[in-house]
Amino acid sequence: MSEADHAKLGAFLQRAPYVRFLGMRAELAGDEMTAILPFSPHLVGNTTIPALHGGVIGGFLEMTALAQLWVTQGSGKLAKTIDVTIEYLRPGRAMTTYARADLRTVGRRVANVHVEAWQEARSHPVAALRGHFLLAGD
Amino acid sequence: MTTSVPQAAALGMTLVSVGEAKGCMAVPWREDLVGDPDTGVIAGGVVTSLLDHTCGLAISAAAKGQMFGTATLDLRIDYMRPAAPRAGVTAEAHCYKLTRSVAFVRAQAWDADPADPIATVQAAFMMSPRSA
């Protein structure tokens, strides 16, 4: 990843109000982007456990996919979500969540993206997303 | 159920109605919930939270007052079209099958007209007795 990619990622994180609502951040290390969602009380869906809201985890995974596409495509336009399947593997605890996106295929019009989120250990994912995204410009 | 859940309160979620194994909830449009400032359309993540939550409401309605906890197993969302700019979103969910361990739910979300949905959902939830 180049300086330009860092700038693109920074622009993505700055532009979407919902990214700021979540409090989502992201870091680039080489060609790997890691999205970071620090814990915040307004993200809780179950106060008994307490656990993150399923929708928050889903939204974070979707935003991670869109961020990765934004950086890789570099068109300056946001891809449109066609469909997503979110699998919940473990409760999202009251702690920082991380996610990485894997662009499985990026065609001319559509991309297939897998995203995995984890907390304490990457080998113990809390949730995964598989989705199709209509690429900007179509 | 709406105000006691921090995420639902943070999104300004409101209860619209509860019926036979059905629930309906809404999130009004708000500047800080926008996903793409180029369009002013509410973020997909907000719709995901609303749909997940409304599914939970439909399960409560189907369980007729029994105490239980739900954990989302999976949620598939198909986006028919983006919501209109600066439009809030309403979701209705139907728990069409409830067993002792699993709830199966369908839901849809719309901005203006239920017959013209922005998203449809198929979801499964694990049911567990709540020791409250």
The least confident of A96-100, B6-10, B67-71 is B67-71
If one counts every other C-beta atom within 10 angstroms of the C-beta of residue A41, the result is: 11
Query: What are the DSSP calls for B50-84, one per residue?
Result: HHHHHHHHHHHHHHTT--EEEEEEEEEEEE-SPPP
d(CA B68, CA B74): 18
Q: Which residues of chain A make contact with B75, given a CB cutoff of 8 A?
A: 54, 58, 85-86, 88
Please report the pLDDT score of residue B65 as a whole number: 75
Cβ atoms of B70 and B103 closer than 8 Å? yes
Cβ atoms of A61 and A86 closer than 8 Å? yes
> What is the identity of the amino acid at A53?
H
Structural domains of chain A, with CATH = 3-134 (3.10.129.10)
Cβ atoms of B101 and B125 closer than 8 Å? no
Is A15 strand, coil or helix? Answer: helix
Mean pLDDT of B63-88: 92
**pLDDT digits over A59-93, tens only?**
999 999 999 999 998 888 899 999 999 999 999 99
Token pair belonging to B99: 């067993």
Mean pLDDT of A93-118: 97
Distance from CA of A129 to the nearest CA of B (A): 9
Cβ atoms of B95 and B114 closer than 8 Å? no
Q: Which CATH number fits domain B6-129: 2.30.140.10, 3.40.30.10, 3.10.129.10, 1.10.3720.10?
A: 3.10.129.10
Nearest CB partner across the interface for A42, out of B10, B35, B75:
B10
Contacts for A3 with CB less than 8 Å, ≥ 6 apart: none
Mutate to test the interface with B, among A47, A88, A90, A113 (most CBs of B within 10 A): A88
- Map out the domains of chain B as residue ranges: 6-129
Cβ atoms of B4 and A47 closer than 8 Å? yes
Work out whether strand A44-46 and strand A51-52 pair parallel, antiparallel, or are unpaired: antiparallel
Q: State the pTM of this model.
A: 0.95
Query: Is the Cβ pair A54, B75 closer than 8 Å?
Result: yes
Q: In this predicted complex, what is the ipTM?
A: 0.93
> What is the identity of the amino acid at A135?
L
Query: Is the Cβ pair B132, A87 closer than 8 Å?
Result: no
Residue A23 has pLDDT above 60, yes or no: yes
> What is the identity of the amino acid at A63?
M
